[in-house]
């Protein structure tokens, strides 16, 4: 569990400049500008349909877009796909877990950008995979089929697959969407630990505002495809902002580990 | 099937042996060799096994100036070398090609119901063969029969139309490509029926072709398909690991450095070429491409790096044995091999499903 082990190349600075994207003729994102410092955790929040997932998918280059994404100052548009895959890893909201595949084989897929596509995993690949699986406490599940794991274990396996890429930036699309509160906290604690140990940069979407406020060090509030607020959780999560952009009545409670959002029911008539 | 034991243990007790593919591959290769030998031994004129092996060895060393005495003579040698050997080899090539293509199609479409005929290869080949059976004034172009040629071209045209339509309509979106395949296949099948009904004199020959047959196999057929199958098979086997990456979805495959669209196109083209070549020489033999990959998955798990080579070997053995049954059951008459593949394959597959359900 040492910091700076074989799985930690250190985090990178991510800059997004003037990013616009859409589906067909419908614009979804409008000149989004974001910066994430090395080792930082930016959570993108926003109401349903505000473009959170599209933002993540565009930054990663899966979705056609205008504007520029830079990793440590290098535009990703000029990178080859494998090169990009060595610096940016992605865990989607609803990962496809192929049938009949063993957990270790799945995690080993994370080594794809580091070896020739046709070649078998090498010793160094197996080493990194074993190390990542140890850190995420997946060792005992290595020979199990993915489909037989619990939801929390599957999410850890997806995380392990992403970490086996030895990325410098980890992109997580709603990492807690399928998890109950306890498992959600476990996964986010784990991400936070990895970030602190390895200096990994984390960019995630999170629809749970309290979890976003507690774990991320920066929040970006997306509304109608624009970043309408960016800053520390305490700056961004205000009752006013929640009312304006979510149409929600909520109280923001400030605790020692960050703000928590408490929904408030309107007065019963 | 002696290789069922290691691969079929339940998930919780899945042993480390599952990760080793060599025992399974060796077993499958052995099964293929045995099937090939059985295929040349058994038939209307039984050939003595020992003499068959000696004759084959003799022919193998002949180019190097060697000779092995004690082989078959006269008619028996001719039956072995001119009738049975090309037929058995052709059956193994066709079976291997269809099975590996089926596994590849199931991989790129992430769909267990995909088979090599999905994108219009069968319908296109059927239309091509029917048109020339009905109307062609010539029987062959150079050394190549006109029916195989038309079937080959028809299959490629069918798949080509499906890919073109799917790409125009949906980019690299696989459901769109599947639907394009369905549309193209339906259109070509309708065209085939039209031509067939307008030429009822040729019905028997057309049906014979549609049901699949290996009865007229010649060395020229083997030579015809071999290059295509070697090229396609090599490409597909090399794509095994990439298909494993594609299995996690397009976005994640991209995030792992793979081009999903490009990979899919390469795999579909290679699988279609193999399918077109197989269909050209044997007609439409069903079930092999669909079921063999599923059987193989139950033996070695879901990784394409293992499923593709295993499908190649098991598919070859399966079709050789199916052809053997087709020759023997109604001897001296022959069953269409497509009937046999379904007749053996369906219950066998049902048994596997049942066994799998009981394990869970």
Q: A144–B250: do the CB atoms touch at under 8 Å? A: no
Q: Pairing state of beta strands A169-173 and A88-91?
A: parallel
- Average pLDDT over every residue of A240-255: 92
Which ranges of B69-145 does DSSP label H, i.e. alpha helix?
74-78, 85-109, 121-135
Q: What is the pLDDT of residue B15?
A: 37
Q: What digits encode the pLDDT tens for the residues A45-85?
A: 999 989 999 999 999 999 999 999 999 999 999 899 999 99
- In the structure, what pLDDT confidence band is assigned to residue A4 with cuts at 50, 70 and 90? very low
Residue A91's beta-bridge partner residues? A172
Task: DSSP letter for B83, please.
Answer: I
Task: Please give, one letter per residue, the 3-state secondary structure of A87-156.
Answer: HEEEECCCCCCCCCCEHHHHHHHHHHHHCCCCCCCCHHHHHHHHHHHHHCCCHHHCCCEHHHCCHHHHHH
The tally of domains found in chain A comes to 1
For A110, nearest residue in chain B (alpha carbons): B256
Tell me which residue in B18, B251, B297 faces A57 most closely, judged by beta carbons.
Answer: B251
Is residue A92 domain-resident? yes
Domains in chain B: boundaries: 22-40+82-359
Q: Which residue has the higher pLDDT, A258 or B10?
A: A258
Element spanning A173, H or E: strand A169-173
Q: What is the pLDDT of residue A2?
A: 39
Longest dimension (CA), chain B: 64
Q: What is the pLDDT of residue B2?
A: 35
Kindly list the residues from chain B whose CB atom is less than 8 angstroms away from the CB atom of residue A160: none
Is residue A91 domain-resident? yes
| DSSP letters for B204-244 | HHHHHHHT---TT--HHHHHHHHHHHHHHHHHHHHTHHHHH
**Do residues B266 and B236 lie in contact, with contact meaning Cβ atoms separated by under 8 Å?**
no
Tell me which residue in A83, A97, A101 faces B303 most closely, judged by beta carbons.
Answer: A101
Q: B247–A101: do the CB atoms touch at under 8 Å? A: yes
* Angle value at C-alpha B114, between B6 and B168, nearest 5 degrees: 140
Is residue A171 domain-resident? yes
Most confident listed range (A169-178, B50-59, B93-102): B93-102
A17: phi then psi, degrees, rounded to nearest 5: -125, 125
Interchain CB contact of B262 with A (< 8 Å): no
Q: B 218-247 residues with CB below 8 A of A?
A: 238, 241-242, 244-245, 247
> Poorest-confidence range of A68-77, B85-94, B140-149?
B140-149
Q: A92–B16: do the CB atoms touch at under 8 Å? A: no
Q: B 282-321 residues with CB below 8 A of A?
A: 297, 301-303
Which ranges of B239-287 does DSSP label H, i.e. alpha helix?
240-246, 250-255, 260-282
Is residue A41 domain-resident? yes
The Cα–Cα gap between A137 and A139 comes to 6
* Angle value at C-alpha B354, between B351 and B355, nearest 5 degrees: 85
- In the structure, what pLDDT confidence band is assigned to residue B153 with cuts at 50, 70 and 90? very high
**Do residues B108 and B246 lie in contact, with contact meaning Cβ atoms separated by under 8 Å?**
yes
Q: What is the pLDDT of residue B141?
A: 78
Q: What is the pLDDT of residue B169?
A: 81
> Poorest-confidence range of A101-105, B238-242, B283-287, B356-360?
B356-360
Q: What digits encode the pLDDT tens for the residues A87-118?
A: 999 999 888 888 778 899 999 999 999 988 77
Q: What is the pLDDT of residue B158?
A: 93
- In the structure, what pLDDT confidence band is assigned to residue A267 with cuts at 50, 70 and 90? low
Q: Pull the structure tokens for residue B341.
A: 């593949």
Kindly list the residues from chain B whose CB atom is less than 8 angstroms away from the CB atom of residue A57: 251
For chain B, the average pLDDT equals 85
Element spanning B289, H or E: helix B288-300
Q: What is the pLDDT of residue B238?
A: 93
Is residue A75 domain-resident? yes
Of A195, A185, A12, A158, whose CA–CA distance to A88 is shortest?
A12
- Average pLDDT over every residue of B85-107: 95
pLDDT at B360 over 60: no
Q: What is the pLDDT of residue B342?
A: 85
Kindly list the residues from chain A whose CB atom is less than 8 angstroms away from the CB atom of residue B110: 96, 98
Q: What is the pLDDT of residue B9?
A: 35
Q: What is the CATH number of the domain that holds A202?
A: 3.40.50.300
- In the structure, what pLDDT confidence band is assigned to residue A8 with cuts at 50, 70 and 90? low
pLDDT at B142 over 80: no
Kindly list the residues from chain A whose CB atom is less than 8 angstroms away from the CB atom of residue B20: none
Neighbour count for residue B25 (Cβ, 10 Å): 17
Q: What digits encode the pLDDT tens for the residues A191-226?
A: 999 899 989 999 999 999 999 999 999 999 999 999
Is residue A206 domain-resident? yes
Q: What is the pLDDT of residue B171?
A: 66
Q: Which residue has the higher pLDDT, B294 or B173?
A: B294
Q: What digits encode the pLDDT tens for the residues B289-327?
A: 999 999 898 888 888 999 999 999 999 999 999 999 998
Cβ neighbours of residue B334 closer than 8 Å, sequence gap 6 or more = B215, B326, B327
Q: What digits encode the pLDDT tens for the residues B175-227?
A: 888 889 999 999 999 999 999 999 888 888 888 888 888 888 888 889 888 99
Q: How far is B279 from chain A (nearest CA, A)?
A: 29
pLDDT at B146 over 60: yes
pLDDT at B251 over 50: yes
Q: Which domain holds residue A258?
A: 14-97+167-263
Tell me which residue in B14, B245, B249 faces A145 most closely, judged by beta carbons.
Answer: B14
Q: Under CATH, which architecture does the B22-40+82-359 domain have?
A: Orthogonal Bundle (1.10)
**Do residues B95 and B320 lie in contact, with contact meaning Cβ atoms separated by under 8 Å?**
yes
Q: B256–A105: do the CB atoms touch at under 8 Å? A: no
Tally A–B CB contacts below 8 A: 93
The Cα–Cα gap between A51 and A96 comes to 22
Q: How far is B59 from chain A (nearest CA, A)?
A: 37
Q: A 95-154 residues with CB below 8 A of B?
A: 95-102, 105-106, 109-110, 112-113, 117-120, 143-145, 148
The Cα–Cα gap between A138 and B20 comes to 21
Q: A109–B256: do the CB atoms touch at under 8 Å? A: yes
């Amino acid at each position: 569990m040492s910091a700076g082990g074989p799985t930690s190349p250190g985090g990178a600075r991510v800059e997004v400049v003037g990013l616009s994207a859409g589906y067909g003729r419908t614009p979804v994102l409008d000149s989004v500008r974001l910066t994430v410092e090395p080792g930082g955790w930016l959570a993108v929040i926003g109401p349903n349909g505000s473009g959170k997932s599209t933002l993540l998918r565009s930054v990663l280059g899966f979705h056609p877009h205008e504007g520029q994404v830079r990793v440590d100052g290098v535009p990703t548009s000029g990178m080859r796909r494998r090169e990009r895959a060595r610096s940016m890893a992605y865990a989607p909201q609803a990962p496809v877990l192929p049938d009949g595949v063993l957990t270790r084989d799945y995690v080993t897929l994370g080594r794809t950008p580091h070896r020739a596509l046709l070649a078998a995993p090498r010793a160094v690949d197996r080493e990194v995979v074993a190390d990542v699986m140890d850190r995420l406490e997946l060792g005992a599940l290595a020979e199990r089929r993915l489909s037989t794991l619990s939801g929390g274990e599957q999410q850890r396996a997806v995380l392990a697959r992403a970490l086996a890429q030895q990325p410098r930036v980890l992109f997580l699309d709603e990492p807690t969407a399928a998890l109950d509160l306890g498992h959600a906290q476990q996964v986010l604690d784990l991400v936070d630990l990895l970030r602190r140990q390895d200096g990994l940069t984390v960019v995630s979407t999170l629809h749970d505002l309290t979890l976003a406020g507690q774990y991320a060090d920066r929040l970006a509030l997306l509304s109608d495809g624009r970043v309408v607020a960016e800053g520390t959780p305490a700056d961004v999560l205000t009752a006013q902002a929640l009312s304006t952009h979510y149409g929600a009545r909520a109280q923001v409670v400030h605790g020692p580990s960050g703000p928590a959002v408490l929904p408030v029911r309107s007065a019963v008539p | 099937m002696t290789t069922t034991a290691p691969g079929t243990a339940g998930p919780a007790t899945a042993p480390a042996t599952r990760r080793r593919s060599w025992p399974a591959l060796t077993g499958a290769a052995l099964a293929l060799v045995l099937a090939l030998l059985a295929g040349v031994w058994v038939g209307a004129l039984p050939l003595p096994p020992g003499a068959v092996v000696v004759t084959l060895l003799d022919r193998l060393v002949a180019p190097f100036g060697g000779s092995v005495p004690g082989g078959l003579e006269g008619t028996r040698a001719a039956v072995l070398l001119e009738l049975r050997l090309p037929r058995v080899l052709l059956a193994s090539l066709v079976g291997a090609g269809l099975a590996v293509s089926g596994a590849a199609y199931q991989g790129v479409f992430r769909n267990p119901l995909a088979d090599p005929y999905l994108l219009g290869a069968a319908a296109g080949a059927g239309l091509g063969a029917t048109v020339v059976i009905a109307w062609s004034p010539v029987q062959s172009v150079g050394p190549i029969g006109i029916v195989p040629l038309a079937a080959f071209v028809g299959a490629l045209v069918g798949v080509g139309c499906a890919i073109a339509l799917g790409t125009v309509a949906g980019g690299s979106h696989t459901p769109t490509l599947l639907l394009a395949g369905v549309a193209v296949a339906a259109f070509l099948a309708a065209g085939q029926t039209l031509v067939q009904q307008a030429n009822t004199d040729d019905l028997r020959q057309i049906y014979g072709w549609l049901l699949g047959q290996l009865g007229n196999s010649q060395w020229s057929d083997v030579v015809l398909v071999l290059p295509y199958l070697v090229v396609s098979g090599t490409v597909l086997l090399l794509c095994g690991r990439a298909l494993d990456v594609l299995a996690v979805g397009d976005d994640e495959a991209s995030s792992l450095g793979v081009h999903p669209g490009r990979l899919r196109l390469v795999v579909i083209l290679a699988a279609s070429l193999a399918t077109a070549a197989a269909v050209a020489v044997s007609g439409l033999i069903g079930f092999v491409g669909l079921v063999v990959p599923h059987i193989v998955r139950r033996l070695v798990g879901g990784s394409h790096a293992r499923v593709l080579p295993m499908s190649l070997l098991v598919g070859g053995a399966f079709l050789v044995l199916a052809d053997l049954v087709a020759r023997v059951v109604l001897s001296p008459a022959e069953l269409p091999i497509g009937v046999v593949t379904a007749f053996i394959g369906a219950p066998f597959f049902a048994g596997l499903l049942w066994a799998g359900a009981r394990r869970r």
